[in-house]
């Protein structure tokens, strides 16, 4: 049985408290499953990097536009390729 300190004394948790702790943990896990990809895309995980800074993304867009990458060619530009790699590595859950 799980325990907690109350006024410096170790006491057993009630069944209701244990149930609430389990429910809270399940809710946090569900939230992580639903939205964890957002943080992963920002920071990256392990050896897979996340989004580069907005300044660098804008610089990539400038160079792509300057190189005339529009329409279907835009999908070969630095910005699109970089963003696509992050979105592929950390897909949004269905």
Largest pairwise CA distance in the chain: 72
Q: What is the pTM of this model?
A: 0.62
Domain membership flag for residue 94: no
State the total domains in the chain. Answer: 1
DSSP β-bridge partners for residue 10: 5
Q: Is residue 37 part of a domain?
A: yes
Residue 59 falls inside a structural domain: yes
Ordered per-residue pLDDT tens for the chain, 94 residues? 899 999 999 999 999 999 999 999 999 999 988 998 999 999 998 888 999 999 999 999 999 999 999 999 999 999 999 999 999 999 998 7
- Tell whether 76 is covered by a domain: yes
74: alpha, beta or left? (left if phi > 0; alpha if psi -120 to 50): alpha
According to the model, what pLDDT value does residue 53 have?
92
Residue 33: domain span: 3-89
Residue-by-residue DSSP string for 46-69: TTEE-PPPHHHHHHHHHHHHHTT-
Cα distance between residue 3 and residue 28, in whole Å:
21
Question: What pLDDT was estimated at residue 45?
Answer: 87
Say what the pLDDT of residue 41 is.
92
Residue 71 gets which letter from DSSP?
G
């Amino acid at each position: 049985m799980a325990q907690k300190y109350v006024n410096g004394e170790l006491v057993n948790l009630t069944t209701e408290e244990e149930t609430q702790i389990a429910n809270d943990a399940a809710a946090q896990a569900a939230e992580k499953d639903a939205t964890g990809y957002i943080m992963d895309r920002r920071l990256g995980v392990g050896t897979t990097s996340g989004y580069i800074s907005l300044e660098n993304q804008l610089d990539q867009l400038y160079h792509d536009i300057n190189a005339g990458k529009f329409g279907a060619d835009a999908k070969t530009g630095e910005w699109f390729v970089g963003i696509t790699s992050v979105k592929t590595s950390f897909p949004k859950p269905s």
